[in-house]
Structure 1
């Protein structure tokens, strides 16, 4: 028996598309499994956070910080990269290091496995077509699923990791990332090291830093920037999906009612991006006296099949060229921080240089690999077409509403002088 479309909002869906609450926003989003596995390898727990399994991620991040410190693993890594192998052997606590290995491998394997399962459930959630509640009001917070800028989210996490997650609506995730960033920076003496670097006192910068704690920072910093961008993009896509379903259900409910025309009717067609303004315009037009069945609002199908920089409603697979860019940035930020211990500018500046250099190197590789199917400049926005049939006397008022609510453009069809049959 084929799956039936979800009909009642009072019944909990078997495969929900997403959920918003005072704790944040999460969605059944198809993330690439190998990207999840890579982030788990870079920092256990990050892979699970990447696919939306935040509780698993929090537990594994705490485990990483505790066991890595007890085993002095980061110090052993620093000494090994600097060629001081005897010191690496002597500083490593083998008892804790052996306990570290099994959980580290599990993190990589489980994040990959979970990403595969989530991709399957995403397909079922699309078949079930369950609604998403776009807002949640509680005593503690007002959470709204709306459109935000992924770049703004990344910039806030660039200044302080965690702020981008808070901007994106992930309260618990943002608080967790911000708290651990502050704690690790304190333990690593990172702020003092940064001040010495800015003032040009590079010898003090190299000696002030606590390497065991400092080596956590490059991966945390890069992931916070990347995850803020990705999570806002996913939330925007979830918003589009929710609004498309709302408009489709509205159209199905009204299409049985005949459109009301008179001898002096006119038709106005406008295009808009998916946003709250779409529903506001529909409400404003109805307030002018236009019958609901005379207002048709449906999403515009996009025929573009090329790969874009990030996902859109028309290409939801979790894959973007930013994956390789941020991987490269993370790797080179770690290496820059390590070798900055010996190089003149110190670990902070070389870490940032490594982050920027690795990002652009990874981006170039992604563009070269995908150059035949990549269209960076392609328009990624999904649009809604609104068609209004009304009395010509309302034309000026309708155009005023469209302009005030950020319509992309409109066209007025010729006046109708005959009554519809």
Structure 2
């Protein structure tokens, strides 16, 4: 049964911060508009998926696979980069190609415009302090908004695009990405191409691969990895926002200001944002500590440095990984194209392009960064928990703090 209910939780906001459902988790997270436009240019539909407009993204991705495939645009692009211009013109079906231009331009324009509007909605939702339901239980699924590791999501999508999205809680998105990856790999004969490439039989790899379908794969692979990383981070931020609001509403409603008595002690503990914070509060109340004697407030961290590994954790959508993944995608596509005429083949050169482009883009981002840069941020305390209790409860209370993963605690001296 619910331990406490606040009236403010019943108010329906005009601007929502996020939503969790059987279909997955989505949030009004501020994304950089030009990054949305870039992903739309790399592959129509990716820009919309990047900003959370998944339905439009699915429609545009299917459109890209159908119309590009019928127009043979990938073949034309590859042959043009190889200098075989007459063959490129002969490959392209003009009837389908003319249908491509308007939708391609719309995809770029609308992803940029939508990113701007979503950023505005995020600001308005922050003004309203909109509540978020942290869980949803249906007949089909149990969805819980919890903290996950974005690098685990990235690793799963590196092994197979779509798995990172499933790990992050995006059921429909992960299923769609996994399905399109399997379909395109089948049409491109990619699995046997990878097998021959890693066995060193590069001639056989180049002979069996379907250029038209294979050139979809570098952009798909890079986006699936990046989107898995960013979506897990966005879900973690959504969890933090929901818990911050809950703790502030709790503090305001409990009228926590009080005068400690002589036979009481004050204990201050720090936590990361996690379900353990609320579990610890509940268990301390069950111990017999009055609710108004438990103050839980989020800390405002003042670190303004840029961190290579986790700058996207900030609620501004900015990450040095943006430019790195953009560069990696470009060089992965070029590596796959020129790999058809180079000795190691399109798979090896595509992977080399992805890794090399990522490192080059990361180096450029670091050089252009105007703030002090570190590799990774130091661990921060995110929630401050102050408990005033009977001195006889101190030992049991500290045991609860330890079992619920408190980062540290201190018993305040009498003054």
**Conserved? CA contact 2:256–2:293, under 8 Å:** no
Q: CA, structure 1 residues 369+7, in 2 after alignment: closer, same or farther (shift >3 Å)?
A: farther
Name the residue aligned to 2:348.
Answer: 349
Task: Identify unmatched segments of 5+ residues in structure 1.
Answer: 1-5, 417-421
**Equivalent position SS for 2:271:** strand
Q: CA, structure 1 residues 129+7, in 2 after alignment: closer, same or farther (shift >3 Å)?
A: farther
Name the residue aligned to 1:103.
Answer: 103
**Conserved? CA contact 1:16–1:125, under 8 Å:** yes
Name the residue aligned to 1:407.
Answer: 406
State the 1:189 CA deviation.
0.3
Name the residue aligned to 1:378.
Answer: 377
State the 1:376 CA deviation.
3.6
Question: Deviation string for 1:365-408 (max 9, x for gaps)?
Answer: 00000053434433364610111111111111111111111111
Q: CA, structure 1 residues 9+395, in 2 after alignment: closer, same or farther (shift >3 Å)?
A: closer
Name the residue aligned to 1:303.
Answer: 302
**Equivalent position SS for 1:35:** helix
**Conserved? CA contact 1:45–1:57, under 8 Å:** yes
Aligned residues: 409
Name the residue aligned to 2:93.
Answer: 93
**Equivalent position SS for 1:343:** coil
The separation in 1 between residues aligned to 2:196 and 2:362, in whole angstroms, is 31
The separation in 2 between residues aligned to 1:250 and 1:256, in whole angstroms, is 9
State the 1:301 CA deviation.
1.1
**Equivalent position SS for 1:9:** helix
Question: Deviation string for 1:32-83 (max 9, x for gaps)?
Answer: 0000000000000000000000000000000000000000000001111111
Q: CA, structure 1 residues 7+96, in 2 after alignment: closer, same or farther (shift >3 Å)?
A: farther
State the 1:186 CA deviation.
0.3
Q: How does 1:19-418 map to 2 (within 5 A)?
A: 19-255=19-255, 258=258, 261-309=260-308, 310-311=310-311, 315-379=314-378, 381=380, 383-415=382-414
The separation in 2 between residues aligned to 1:100 and 1:133, in whole angstroms, is 41
Q: CA, structure 1 residues 158+256, in 2 after alignment: closer, same or farther (shift >3 Å)?
A: closer
Name the residue aligned to 1:419.
Answer: none
Q: CA, structure 1 residues 271+173, in 2 after alignment: closer, same or farther (shift >3 Å)?
A: same
Pairwise CA RMSD of aligned residues?
Answer: 1.6
Name the residue aligned to 2:3.
Answer: none
State the 1:312 CA deviation.
6.5
The separation in 1 between residues aligned to 2:290 and 2:312, in whole angstroms, is 33
The separation in 2 between residues aligned to 1:257 and 1:56, in whole angstroms, is 50
The separation in 2 between residues aligned to 1:312 and 1:385, in whole angstroms, is 24
The separation in 2 between residues aligned to 1:14 and 1:44, in whole angstroms, is 31
State the 1:12 CA deviation.
2.7
Q: CA, structure 1 residues 405+288, in 2 after alignment: closer, same or farther (shift >3 Å)?
A: same
Question: Deviation string for 1:256-282 (max 9, x for gaps)?
Answer: 6746x4432111111110000000110
State the 1:152 CA deviation.
0.3
The separation in 1 between residues aligned to 2:285 and 2:312, in whole angstroms, is 30
Task: Identify unmatched segments of 5+ residues in structure 2.
Answer: 1-5
Structure 1 length normalisation: TM-score? Answer: 0.94
State the 1:307 CA deviation.
3.1
The separation in 1 between residues aligned to 2:150 and 2:116, in whole angstroms, is 25
The separation in 2 between residues aligned to 1:155 and 1:28, in whole angstroms, is 25
**Conserved? CA contact 2:381–2:407, under 8 Å:** no
Q: CA, structure 1 residues 381+222, in 2 after alignment: closer, same or farther (shift >3 Å)?
A: farther
The separation in 1 between residues aligned to 2:371 and 2:241, in whole angstroms, is 29
Name the residue aligned to 1:3.
Answer: none
The separation in 1 between residues aligned to 2:241 and 2:214, in whole angstroms, is 41
**Conserved? CA contact 2:226–2:325, under 8 Å:** yes
**Equivalent position SS for 2:143:** strand
The separation in 1 between residues aligned to 2:126 and 2:371, in whole angstroms, is 29
State the 1:8 CA deviation.
3.7
Q: CA, structure 1 residues 382+87, in 2 after alignment: closer, same or farther (shift >3 Å)?
A: farther
**Conserved? CA contact 2:281–2:294, under 8 Å:** yes
The separation in 1 between residues aligned to 2:208 and 2:265, in whole angstroms, is 74
The separation in 2 between residues aligned to 1:64 and 1:328, in whole angstroms, is 22
